Structure 1
Amino acid sequence: MSGHPHVRHTSLLRPMAARGREEEHRAATPLELFFDLCFVAAVAQAGRQLVHALAEGHPGTGIPGYLMMFFAIWWAWVNFTWFSSAYDTDDVPYRVVTLVQMAGVLILAAGIPRAFNDSDFTVVWFGYLVMRLALVTQWLRAAYSTRGEERRTALMYAAGVSLCQVGWLGLLLLPDDAKSWLFLGMAIVEMSVPAIAERRHQTGWHPHHIAERYGLFTIIVLGETVLAATVAVQSALDDDEALDTLLPIAGGGLLIIFAAYWIYFAVPIHLHLASNRQAFAWGYGHYLVFGSAAAIGAGIEVAIEETIGKAHISAFAAAGAVTLPTALFMFSVWMIHSRHHKRGMAQQLVLPVSAVLVLACTYAGRTAVLFTGLVATLTVAVGVTLAARRAEANGRAQEAG
């Protein structure tokens, strides 16, 4: 019986051979999309805790807590994403072990409130343990199926991930005032594992597949911002007295979301990912992209709560909860993503200048979200215009040549 040439059928067991970097039609699988869906719960939990902390006027604890929890979420996603790009066999053991990793993600999500509010990382650590046991199993399967330097790389990954999990035990044993420093140190160690493991042999991750996977996760975190804008609309409909002040937040929030999507997907970034040097910098930099995108949604919720009198902060602080992550998103996307495809000073300056203008919108108080949305929309319009002019000029040059 014949089928589509690119359809992969699940078998009971097959060797875990590396996928080819030049493989055609390499796209995200339903299992990977299902895996990403589990992270929605974790991202939502981190965002919810950030909203509570900022609305209560505790940015000094809320922001560091959010950064730590989002790193835990992001790094768990990164570990699986790069492995699956290199060694997706899609047999029964691979699927079962991936489903176990998903269970670990949900355990992690359940433990975020305790870790955020009480510095109790027990549940978070156990969720990571479940994910790490599954990931190490995958790497050991890869080592068993390969030889030479490729086998050594897989074993280095398995050993590095295992040792890091032991290091995270410090979160359960050390006093609270030392946990932040341990977290910072362990984060650096975690991000060093891939560079050490792939020093002699690079795994066969696929540039187009990786770019697609990161793009899909960007959509997930922007989805959290969509939810925040929806809350604004619902609140406006439930409270007629606040209708005039809440609808601009909803409208501005939607403009920010739409612009963020347009800005991120404006360039074919897979063409830039030629080696580990480019890929690591690009992939690690997405911690800021993902974290700021999710924080925009939290900021919109904070702005809503301040408007209806539920937040114990000023209008300026509530505005900053939206403008700061929006500006960070614009700048970080430009730094690691867009600038590689911009030509000329005008194109290169669009996002950095827009980030500064967004920060200036903080002084607009309760209208800051709307003004930020308008600046973001103008940013897209200017970017599209400059790109069209550049393409037209290149076309004329080719015709003349």
Structure 2
Amino acid sequence: MATGRGAGLLRPPASSGRATFLELFFDLAFVVALTRVTQRFVDLSDDTGWALVAGLGRTLLLFLALWLIWSHTVWITSRYEPERSIIQAVVVGTMFAGLVMAVTLPRALEERALPFAAAYLVVMVVRPLVVAAALRGHPRRLVPFRLAAWAAASAPLWLAGALGPDALRLPLWAAALAVDYLAWALGWPVPRLGASAVHRWRIAGTHLADRHQQMFLVSLGETILVISMVFGGTDYSPVRAAAFGVAFATSALLWRIYFHRAGLLLPEALGRAGMPGRLGTVSERAHLLIVLGVLVTAVGYELVIDHPFGPPRPGLLLFVVGGPVLFLVARTLLEYEIFGRVSESRVIGLAALLLFTPALARWAPMVGLSVVAGVLALVALLDALLSRGRPLEPSASSVAREESASGDRDSEA
């Protein structure tokens, strides 16, 4: 393959799979963003019916826009050498744009729509052009050109939503975001150049896994921040202290369940894959749901600590039970992709949560959170019992087997 003068920008095979300090610094902007997303979810706790559905849709849209920015950045630093000055400048610039999006997020669908959309578009349109210019004559420069072309195509929808009537903002932005995610799924096809599917990209698989694990820990840190601030900001009482303790135990159990076996082996699975981009794509989708599940769970913490034995509210279960259910579903998906199987403990946990939900709708919030913690403890206990005395099994990813058998390669990968 022709190299051109931009070949030095590519990640060498011997490059470290660990995230750089700049990338960890970059995540700080998304700590702020995730806090804003959680607060928007909390503000919906008193809504019911269509108001609740619409509010969830608005918050989910903003979260997905943030996730796209973060995830694209992770793929860039897994694909190109993050120690190069141009990539560091790209990461710092993206961090600033992400911080602008985080600051404007609480009112992003109201009077702060324009700065939110402008920051998003600068990253989506300008950033790939900078990378393409840095690649110079290298064939890979065509990939960021594709990204910029598709982002420019959806830009009018983002700008029309920001500048137009408030009533049209949500549908226009939803359509724009759908275009951006569809382009990613299709590989940003353009006339004559065709597509460049992400799963065929040559990346540092261990680095991508490391970044996904770090984002999970960032979201878990958000739960610790929530319970600390809520408990510290309310009048002390024994029942609130008990709710604080149960919430912390729940977060610790989420950590344990995530890293048991499959979560721990993710870097190895991506490192051993012949084409890690394929498994990395699946991992990215699973972690999107995992992070969202953790954030929704954090909302449940705040609501329960505020009023541990308040009146039953069926809508509250959307956060108290819905978050852990989403987490377990996504964690099951990740396990299947790593090992080609599903643990009985995950199935039992999901079945138990769904079975208890109707009854929990009639009980105080503290009861619901305690039952969720008990079910997660059962999952963690079953994990420990089923794996006791057994060596850590190697990855048996079905995706890795498919890519090894097909031997797919992309001339621009």
- TM bucket, shorter chain: 0.7 to 0.9
In structure 2, do the counterparts of structure 1 residues 375 and 109 end up closer, same or farther at CA, with 3 Å as the change threshold? same
- 1:94-109 matches, cutoff 5 A: 94-109=87-102
The answer as to 2:152 corresponding to 1:162 is yes
In structure 2, do the counterparts of structure 1 residues 387 and 306 end up closer, same or farther at CA, with 3 Å as the change threshold? same
Shift of residue 232, structure 1, vs aligned partner: 4.8
Q: 1:142, 1:356 → 2: CA distance?
A: 52
- 1:25-64 matches, cutoff 5 A: 25-55=16-46, 57=48, 58-64=51-57
Shift of residue 48, structure 1, vs aligned partner: 0.7
After alignment, is 195-204 or 39-48 more displaced? 195-204
Deviations 1:230-266 (A, max 9, x none): 2354356x333xx22x233212211221111122222
Partner of 1:249: 243
**Secondary structure at 2:201 match in 1:** coil
Conserved 8 A contact 1:361-1:372 = no
In structure 2, do the counterparts of structure 1 residues 28 and 145 end up closer, same or farther at CA, with 3 Å as the change threshold? farther
In structure 2, do the counterparts of structure 1 residues 339 and 227 end up closer, same or farther at CA, with 3 Å as the change threshold? same
Deviations 1:50-82 (A, max 9, x none): 101214555223211221111011111011110
In structure 2, do the counterparts of structure 1 residues 372 and 264 end up closer, same or farther at CA, with 3 Å as the change threshold? same
Opposite residue 184 of structure 1, the aligned amino acid is A
After alignment, is 350-359 or 101-110 more displaced? 350-359
Partner of 1:398: none
In structure 2, do the counterparts of structure 1 residues 201 and 329 end up closer, same or farther at CA, with 3 Å as the change threshold? closer
Opposite residue 22 of structure 2, the aligned amino acid is L
Partner of 1:365: 364
In structure 2, do the counterparts of structure 1 residues 318 and 389 end up closer, same or farther at CA, with 3 Å as the change threshold? same
Deviations 1:14-54 (A, max 9, x none): 8653214x436321001111111111111111111110121
Partner of 2:399: none
Say which of 208, 211, 217 aligns to 2:209: 211
Q: 2:324, 2:199 → 1: CA distance?
A: 38
Partner of 1:321: 319
Conserved 8 A contact 2:231-2:305 = no
Gaps of 5+ in 2: 189-194, 395-413
Partner of 1:181: 171
Q: CA RMSD in A?
A: 2.9
Gaps of 5+ in 1: 1-12, 395-401
Conserved 8 A contact 2:155-2:176 = no
Shift of residue 286, structure 1, vs aligned partner: 2.5
In structure 2, do the counterparts of structure 1 residues 188 and 142 end up closer, same or farther at CA, with 3 Å as the change threshold? farther
In structure 2, do the counterparts of structure 1 residues 218 and 207 end up closer, same or farther at CA, with 3 Å as the change threshold? same
Deviations 1:134-170 (A, max 9, x none): 52244223441513xx232232223233333344223
Aligned residue pairs total: 368
In structure 2, do the counterparts of structure 1 residues 343 and 86 end up closer, same or farther at CA, with 3 Å as the change threshold? closer
After alignment, is 291-300 or 178-187 more displaced? 178-187
**Secondary structure at 1:75 match in 2:** helix
**Secondary structure at 1:54 match in 2:** coil
- 1:356-395 matches, cutoff 5 A: 356-362=351-357, 363=360, 364-366=363-365, 367-388=367-388, 390-391=390-391
TM-score using structure 2 length: 0.79
Deviations 1:208-244 (A, max 9, x none): 10000010011111111112222354356x333xx22
**Secondary structure at 2:9 match in 1:** coil
The answer as to 2:83 corresponding to 1:90 is yes
In structure 2, do the counterparts of structure 1 residues 14 and 146 end up closer, same or farther at CA, with 3 Å as the change threshold? closer
**Secondary structure at 1:53 match in 2:** coil
Say which of 103, 113, 117 aligns to 1:125: 117
Q: 1:144, 1:209 → 2: CA distance?
A: 25
Conserved 8 A contact 2:294-2:323 = yes
In structure 2, do the counterparts of structure 1 residues 97 and 339 end up closer, same or farther at CA, with 3 Å as the change threshold? closer
Q: 1:94, 1:175 → 2: CA distance?
A: 38
Conserved 8 A contact 1:253-1:300 = yes
Q: 2:206, 2:393 → 1: CA distance?
A: 28
Q: 1:316, 1:392 → 2: CA distance?
A: 41
Matched-pair identity in %: 21
Conserved 8 A contact 1:111-1:122 = no
Opposite residue 335 of structure 2, the aligned amino acid is S
- 1:328-339 matches, cutoff 5 A: 328-335=326-333, 337-339=334-336
Say which of 66, 82, 87 aligns to 2:59: 66
After alignment, is 154-163 or 82-91 more displaced? 154-163
After alignment, is 276-285 or 95-104 more displaced? 276-285
Partner of 1:6: none
In structure 2, do the counterparts of structure 1 residues 56 and 384 end up closer, same or farther at CA, with 3 Å as the change threshold? same
Q: 1:202, 1:15 → 2: CA distance?
A: 18
TM-score using structure 1 length: 0.82
After alignment, is 52-61 or 107-116 more displaced? 52-61
The answer as to 2:342 corresponding to 1:351 is no
Deviations 1:316-370 (A, max 9, x none): 43243211111111111111x11234576xx523213212322444414321112
Say which of 142, 146, 149 aligns to 1:152: 142
The answer as to 2:71 corresponding to 1:78 is yes
Deviations 1:366-390 (A, max 9, x none): 2111221121122111112212355
- 1:274-285 matches, cutoff 5 A: 274=273, 275=275, 276-285=277-286
Shift of residue 97, structure 1, vs aligned partner: 3.1
Conserved 8 A contact 2:11-2:80 = yes
